[in-house]
Amino acid sequence: MSESRGRFGVHGGQYIPETLMNAVIELEEAYNTYKDDPQFNEELTTLFNEYAGRPSRLYYAERMTNDLGGAKIYLKREDLNHTGAHKINNVLGQALLAKKMGKTRLIAETGAGQHGVATATAAALFGMECVVFMGKEDIERQALNVYKMKLLGSDVVSVDTGTGTLKDAVSQAMREWTSRISDTHYCLGSVMGPHPFPTIVRDFQAVISKEIKAQMLEKEGRLPDAVLACVGGGSNAIGSFYHFIEDEQVKLIGCEAAGRGIDTFETAATINTGRLGIFHGMKSYFCQDEFGQIAPVYSISAGLDYPGVGPEHAWLYDIGRAQYVAITDEEAVNAFEYLSRIEGIIPAIESSHALAYAMKYAPTLDKDKIIVVTVSGRGDKDCVSVARYRGEEISE
């Protein structure tokens, strides 16, 4: 009897069509070969540092700290990475791995467009073909990122099935992968999908917490009291949490998108409102109806607008190691505007969910406490939709 692989407690696994099984097995074998290979890691570190601009800064947000009057707030500035978000960490790792595997073509799904732009960027850098699947709804919400992907030489395929958002883009990318495997790597953008993706993506994103830990020890001589990050699929959050999981005194707080509220149907807060299910290759928590039909989720943030969550987060929740809070559109937009004014940093609307919780949480803590909030991306892409949310029509 063959054992199911890639479990985080009951979560994870490999729930995919037989057609893809040898592809994920090949990927796992390649990853196991290269993850501890000094040359691979040296190449990846060079890409991280010289190309993506790592390490990203750990910035003491003094004005925000003083204004909120509680814990000291540090911002992990993933927004300063090349392509403007944490997505590049994972993409450079996977593209390098794909190249070592002899693949010449990358496919990817994207929600807000950040992962699509990052994949298109890596494809340009490595001279690979690239096709990005993006929901029709998101293409309309994120026109600038669509243009960038095309500028970088990628094809962007509009997905108009289902709700025309991230989940449909993932489904379509999986369908595309079953039809063309031999030369194609599916560069999955979050800590989700079938094993080994949740592990691979986590390992490439774990650079975030590795740096936070070192930077915090250097600046403060101690570990932070809490680490906050937004959670859709959960890649920047797991990256921010990973090296602190063993440090039980560090609270780990994931911030989900509540949309119009977790008591409404217009929400994407999976851990807060979903239940255990099997979808997109994994067992985890999903927003779904009583018959297991996946719910049409909603958030102002295209990057958090996903009905599931990565299996490792589901497990961290089960064992009580991390907590997951829900942040509404309104709270996220307030935080978007707040950070822009008080620190001169325009955060991505996704990251604004974590900042919104920091605004509530920091004042409840003593001034000698320290929290770190990961600013997973920059907010240039969100200015039009936030302006629209506030009733102002602007064009790019």
Q: For binding to another protein (CB under 8 A), which residues are involved?
A: 1-5, 13-23, 161-162, 167-168, 171, 174-175, 178-181, 275-281, 283, 286, 288, 290-294
Selecting among 87, 103, 148, 213, the annotated active-site residue is: 87
Name the minimum Å distance from CB 99 to another protein: 21
Of residues 15 and 389, the one with the C-beta less far from another protein = 15
What would the two tokens of residue 264 be?
């409404």
Of residues 277 and 377, the one with the C-beta less far from another protein = 277
Concerning whether 251 is annotated as a catalytic residue, the answer is no
Name the minimum Å distance from CB 308 to another protein: 10
Of residues 4 and 264, the one with the C-beta less far from another protein = 4
Name the minimum Å distance from CB 94 to another protein: 20
Concerning whether 136 is annotated as a catalytic residue, the answer is no
Q: Could you tell me the CA-to-CA distances from 167 to 72, 133, 163, 228 in Å, in that order?
A: 37, 10, 8, 24
Of residues 138 and 331, the one with the C-beta less far from another protein = 138
Closest to 359 in 3D by CA, of 16, 11, 159, 71: 71
Name the minimum Å distance from CB 10 to another protein: 10
Name the minimum Å distance from CB 7 to another protein: 11
Concerning whether 2 is annotated as a catalytic residue, the answer is no
Query: What is the edge-to-edge ordering of all strands in the sheet holding 105-110?
Result: 155-159, 129-135, 105-110, 184-186
What would the two tokens of residue 320 be?
């009580």
Say if CB 197 and CB 191 are below 8 A apart: yes
Of residues 17 and 363, the one with the C-beta less far from another protein = 17
Name the minimum Å distance from CB 5 to another protein: 7
Of residues 85 and 98, the one with the C-beta less far from another protein = 98
Residue 243 three-state SS: helix
DSSP string, 32-79: HHHTT-HHHHHHHHHIIIIIS-PSPPEEE-HHHHHHHTSSEEEEEEGG
Closest to 78 in 3D by CA, of 60, 51, 48, 54: 54
Kindly tell me the burial class for residue 53, based on how many C-beta atoms sit within 10 Å of its own C-beta (0-12, 13-18, 19 or more).
Answer: middle
Euclidean distance between CA atoms 189 and 126, whole angstroms: 18
Q: Could you tell me the CA-to-CA distances from 132 to 141, 225, 297, 302, 379 in Å, in that order?
A: 16, 39, 21, 15, 21
Selecting among 154, 213, 376, 381, the annotated active-site residue is: 376
What residues are annotated to the active site?
87, 109, 376
